[in-house]
Chain A
Amino acid sequence: MSRALLKLREVQLAVILLLMVTAIGLRAPVFLSAKSVDSLLTDTAILVVMALAQMLVILTRGVDLSVAANLALCGMVAALIGEHHPALPVGVPIVAAVAVGGLLGALNGALIGLLRLPAIVVTLGSMSVFRGMIFVLSGGAWVSSQHMSPGFIAFPLDRLLGLTHLVWVALLAIALAWWLTGHTRFGRELYAIGNHPVSAAYVGIPVRLRLFAVYTLAGMAAGLCGYLWVARYAVAFTEIASGFELSVIAACVIGGISIAGGVGSVAGAALGALFLGIIGNALPVIQVSPFWQSAITGTVIVVAVVFNAREGRRIGKQILPVDAPRPRPLLAIPAAQAEGS
């Protein structure tokens, strides 16, 4: 029955999404057209991939604020490779981006996982270092579509069986994350670490190595998305994806992934990303100025987090015997809180 409860959170979210889409569709039916849906999915794909990677990090009670800067730096690396070596197959800049991203992520992983430094501070620092490095690499110059070969740009938006490659990458990422978190020891151990790091070490989980791996993975995902971003938008410059890390974390928070670690699902992260994608795509359609996007995202984060907090809080210890036989948890227990601190 606890599974039913878990699904409840993600189900709630899915229902909200459905309602949103319906509401917007009523206001502007064009939103529900195949083209519009295709555009929505394509636009949200990168956010989905990044949110899944961030979910892994947050599961371990961490956070990675440097993902957007990582993405931008790797995107620039890919773009520069594409610019200076247009003859190389597109696989080369892709692999380079992933590799660089992984390296950058490993730097975070070393400081946070191996040296056990606080994730917020480390990734705040690495975020600005990565951002600055873009300038160093590019000299401040933009790499625009005229510098990019058709082969370089084509991949993200090419289609396979009707869906863009971007959507396929997102689907692949979902499948991979689902496998990792639900069917591998590695993934399950991440939950254990987030639940109780000391006990996790006690039962033999190599916590430091796991943390190192998780940040490296997040970096690799950022690297891949870096290429996808610059190829899709056909431009690379220092400030791309500025502030994107907030959207990524917002997607996770909305999806029910607890910042305290140990709780969260792939469905939640994906739905959270979709939620933000719908808002972003819907605004122009219902003729709301794009300037509202940040404010709406912020409001949604705050509301989602408050919602998370109220759900998670339990009553004080249950010491008095409950008169009826223990009811199926937790729906029956009221949310009355014993005000702690």
Chain B
Amino acid sequence: MSQALPAPVPAALPLLELRGISKRFGGVQALRDVRLTARGGEVLALIGENGAGKSTLVKILTGIHRPDSGTLVLDGTPLACDSALEAMQAGITAVHQETVMFEELSVAENIYMGHHPLTGRLRAVDWRTMEREAARLFERLEVKLSVRAKVRELSIAQRHFIEIARALSQEARVVIMDEPTAALSRREIQELYRIVAQLKVRGTAVIFISHKFDEIFAVADRYTVLRDGEFVAEGRIDETSEPELITRMVGRTISQAYPKRLVPLGEVVLEVQDLSHPTEFDGVSFTLRRGEILGFYGLIGAGRSELMQALFGLSPSSRGSVTLAGRRLAVRSPDDAIAAGLAYVPEDRQHQGAHLGMSITHNVSLPQLARFGWWLAGRWRRELELARRFCERLELKAAHFGQTVAELSGGNQQKVVLAKWLATQPQVIIIDEPTKGIDIGSKAAVHQFIGELVAQGLAVIMVSSELPEVLGLADRIIVMHQGRVRREFSRAEASTERVAAAALGSGE
């Protein structure tokens, strides 16, 4: 994992300087007086928990948001970008986790879209030059990729490389990498490190956002820590240590952030045998007891969500069996799953979980309208009571139940989605990324809440990409890699290194 990167190219002036950046969204102060300095030829690690303000900062850098106050100075000149295009033209580009590209177009065109090279008096698109230059870019990056291939045929790693190539083609001065290794294999991560090295040699400033400390220490030269939207610390990587960074990041010791109640385990409530899908996962087997929190860990794209969705009936499985509370299940649709006692809280709660245009009450009662009968008009009072019962339990903050969910804050929207599923009174609840998008203050509350759920006899399957969360909460951890179960750890056996290694597919 460690490959000595060239020492940072000394630069006279910092390339990118942010001072006093503040940004407010509605009632939430996302950033307060944040400062950041990135130097050319250096890698700056931007560290912070989910909700610390990193993505807001990135959006400001890439021109998607304008800061309420503060200055941005690039190469000595102040910069105020009104759009993503302007930021790109100024030389700031970002490589995101979810790369979005033009699927049906070629690699070369994806790199050059918007600034195709032109030729001749008629200013025709110069395909030859475009493909040649694209090929050259990939040569420099030492990545093997056919520039004529359609993007839709490529993997996530390859798409990352295309975005980087795009950044290079635009002579980017600052390249921001947001969790770039989340879905990469070990070999691909090595390639990425090599590319980062090349960017340094070119004098580019690289801002590297990652949760994985081994990567941070392998790649970064300096660091900046954000917490709760504020600047906490910066410095050189070789002058600090992981525990120190974690303390700065979290503001408290880890054990406090993930309160774990020990709950007596009941009988087996879910048994999955050899569940398989033609392309997404294969041969998955596990058991789950009442009162248990089973964590599913793995890289993004390992197949965990796909597995859960098949369990819930959203996609078909090709073989295997599922037994819930002793009864063999034939789950062909989410309806069957809900009736059997399963609930699935999806990862993207806004888009997959909430009906923003509908009222709180209507959202909460939706999965179990059948229990009110087909003539709803006469049952509105009972619907309201149901919604009230479960929303109050989650301490929802809203003006009235007739409010549309769109009017609520993000955190409260998530609560409505959770309430909806709790109201179905499931035996097993699957939660996909429980604290994604939740600000730090509420994370512990969510964890506590999960603890309460299992104390009442529910069983929880928790899909999470945050290792500390999984280590802190789960009774057992199942690690998936490329669609298969790699290893299963008990709470005692699990450690950061072991679990991370399993997720990367390394041999037992």
Contacts and interface: CB of A to CB of B under 8 A. Distances in A.
Contacts of B280: 316-317, 319-320, 338
B116 A188 contact: yes
Among all A-B residue pairs, the 8 with the closest Cβ atoms: A203-B114, A195-B102, A320-B483, A204-B85, A183-B124, A319-B483, A204-B114, A319-B303
Interface in B331-355: none
Given A184-B125, A203-B114, A338-B278, A198 B306 contact: no
Contacts of B123: 184
Interface string A1-33: 011000000000000000000000000000000
Interface in A287-341: 314-321, 329-330, 336, 338-340
A312 B363 CA distance: 34
B85 A203 contact: yes
Interface string A166-192: 000000000000010011110011011
Interface in B65-122: 84-85, 88-89, 100-106, 109, 113-116, 118
Contacts of B316: 338-339
Interface stretch (B148-156, B413-421, B494-502): B148-156
Given A330-B153, A336-B278, A195 B315 contact: no
Interface in B116-142: 116, 118, 123-125
A84 interface: no
Nearest to A330: B153
Interface of B: 84-85, 88-89, 100-106, 109, 113-116, 118, 123-125, 148-150, 152-153, 277-282, 301-303, 306, 315-316, 482-484
A188 B352 CA distance: 33
Given A184-B124, A195-B103, A316-B315, A203 B279 contact: no
Interface residues of A, number: 37
A319 B278 CA distance: 10
B23 to A, nearest CB: 20
10 contacts: A2-B106, A184-B124, A185-B125, A188-B113, A198-B100, A200-B102, A203-B113, A316-B279, A320-B281, A320-B483
Contacts of A198: 100
A188 to B, nearest CB: 6
Given A262-B103, A316-B279, 11 more contacts: A2-B106, A191-B105, A195-B102, A199-B101, A203-B85, A262-B105, A317-B280, A317-B306, A319-B303, A336-B278, A338-B277
Nearest to A203: B114
Given A188-B116, A196-B101, A320 B484 contact: yes
Contacts of B113: 188-189, 192, 200, 203, 205
Nearest to A3: B148
Contacts, number: 109
B100 A321 contact: no
A339 B316 CA distance: 7
A320 B102 contact: no
A263 interface: yes
A222 B371 CA distance: 56
A204 B102 contact: no
A202 B153 contact: no
B105 A195 contact: yes
Contact of A192 (B84, B105, B152): B105
Interface string A47-90: 00000000000000000000000000000000000000000000
A318 B152 CA distance: 12
Nearest to A315: B279
Nearest to A185: B116
Contacts of A262: 102-105
A183 B279 CA distance: 38
Q: Which of B113, B483, B484 has the most CB of A within 10 A?
A: B113
A252 to B, nearest CB: 16
A262 B103 CA distance: 9
Nearest to B153: A329
A266 to B, nearest CB: 15
A322 to B, nearest CB: 9
Q: Which of A204, A321, A339 has the most CB of B within 10 A?
A: A204
A189 B152 CA distance: 18
Contacts of B148: 2-3
B238 to A, nearest CB: 36
Contacts of A330: 153
B415 to A, nearest CB: 27
A198 B282 CA distance: 35
Nearest to A318: B279
B88 to A, nearest CB: 7
Contacts of B315: 316, 338-340
A263 B116 contact: no
B102 A191 contact: yes
Contacts of B482: 319-321
A286 B44 CA distance: 75
A184 to B, nearest CB: 6
A313 to B, nearest CB: 12
B122 to A, nearest CB: 8
Interface string A76-106: 0000000000000000000000000000000
